[in-house]
């Protein structure tokens, strides 16, 4: 029995749009300094590993790669962003600037480095980004802390990225959650960070999925399918029996930040 061309085209279109059962897990790279790297704790207790487990427990098919390097400033992160974030990354969590503040680096230098880094990731590479803020230690003067703290919300707005205001929210200044240096979290501290940041990271995952779905609708194969539907079941207007037209041719930290648990941007 002959098959109507339109029925065949619709069936093929569904196959193209439907996600493959063996699709790779989403891959997010956490680009940061020692706070991301997990200085002083076992690798499985570091922020990326705990975040990955928490997301998987919530049903997400995801991998979080540890792109933290102890001692890195924002400028150091910019210098390695091209090789640290490879072409297989679906999204990036950016956590940089703590060492800038601890060394009292001119906030203008930190801002410029993060500005260029975000431009590279978003404008040039089209990657979804969750920008994680840092706050200057409160033993520095008000002029410095105001200039530094404003970097992150300003850039998140400029590049329209998701934003989590303070990486150490709920952990900074709590001796029970930090190592003896008062700067780096213990495993228990990272657990608090992960719990508070989860909604923001899930918003990042949702953004990736929406962009992937939108991209799937622009596949060349589907454009051909759609043209077949439009032109009566033929892959090109020139081949259509009904057609007569030619073919057409993205420390001293403050203890917390109000509202930092909710994803923004």
Residue 29 has pLDDT above 50, yes or no: yes
Domain ranges of the chain: 5-15+24-216
Binning pLDDT at 50, 70 and 90, where does residue 48 land?
very high
Q: Provide the 10 A C-beta neighbour count for residue 145.
A: 18
Phi, psi of 104 (to 5 degrees): 55, 40
Given the residues 60, 169, 184, 200, the one annotated as active site? 184
Active site residue 60: no
Highest CATH level, class, for 5-15+24-216: alpha beta
Mean of pLDDT over the chain: 83
- Between residues 259 and 172, which one has the greater pLDDT? 172
Name the residue among 6, 3, 47 with its Cα closest to residue 230: 6
Q: Is 222 exposed, middle or buried (0-12, 13-18, 19+ CB in 10 A)?
A: middle
Q: What is the layout of strands, in order, in the sheet containing 91-95?
A: 62-68, 26-32, 91-95, 129-132, 162-164
Binning pLDDT at 50, 70 and 90, where does residue 213 land?
confident
Per-residue pLDDT tens for 180-204? 999 999 999 999 999 999 999 999 9
Per-residue pLDDT tens for 214-234? 877 655 555 544 444 444 444
Given the residues 42, 87, 180, 181, the one annotated as active site? 181
Given the residues 34, 75, 240, 256, the one annotated as active site? 34
Active site residue 181: yes
Per-residue pLDDT tens for 150-162? 999 999 999 999 9
Name the residue among 50, 124, 36, 43 with its Cα closest to residue 87: 124
Active site residue 34: yes
Q: Give the whole-angstrom CA distance, residue 96 versus residue 94.
A: 6
Per-residue pLDDT tens for 54-97? 999 999 999 999 999 999 999 999 999 999 999 999 999 999 99
- Between residues 53 and 264, which one has the greater pLDDT? 53
pTM over 0.85: no
């Amino acid at each position: 029995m002959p098959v109507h061309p339109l029925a065949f085209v619709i069936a093929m279109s569904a196959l193209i749009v439907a996600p493959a059962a063996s699709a790779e897990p989403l891959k997010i790279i956490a680009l940061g300094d020692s706070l991301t790297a997990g200085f002083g704790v076992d690798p499985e207790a570091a922020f990326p590993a705990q975040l990955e487990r928490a997301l998987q427990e919530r049903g997400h098919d995801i991998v979080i790669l540890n792109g933290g390097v102890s001692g890195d400033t924002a400028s150091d992160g910019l210098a390695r962003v091209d090789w640290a974030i490879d072409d297989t990354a679906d999204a990036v969590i950016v956590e940089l600037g703590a060492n800038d503040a601890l060394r009292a680096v001119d906030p203008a230098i930190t801002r410029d480095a993060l500005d260029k880094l975000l431009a590279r990731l978003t404008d040039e590479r089209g990657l979804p980004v969750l920008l994680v803020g840092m706050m200057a230690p409160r033993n520095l003067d008000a002029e410095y802390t105001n200039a530094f703290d404003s970097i992150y919300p300003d850039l998140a707005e400029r590049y329209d990225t998701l934003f989590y205001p303070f990486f150490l929210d709920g952990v900074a200044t709590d001796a029970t959650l930090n190592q003896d240096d008062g700067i780096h979290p213990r495993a228990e501290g990272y657990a608090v960070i992960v719990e508070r940041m989860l909604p923001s990271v899930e918003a990042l995952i949702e953004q990736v999925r929406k962009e992937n779905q939108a991209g799937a609708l622009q596949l060349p194969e589907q454009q051909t399918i759609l043209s077949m539907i439009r032109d009566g079941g033929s892959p090109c207007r020139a081949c259509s029996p009904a057609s007569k037209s030619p073919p057409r041719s993205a420390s001293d930290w403050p203890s917390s930040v109000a509202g930092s648990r909710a994803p923004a941007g």
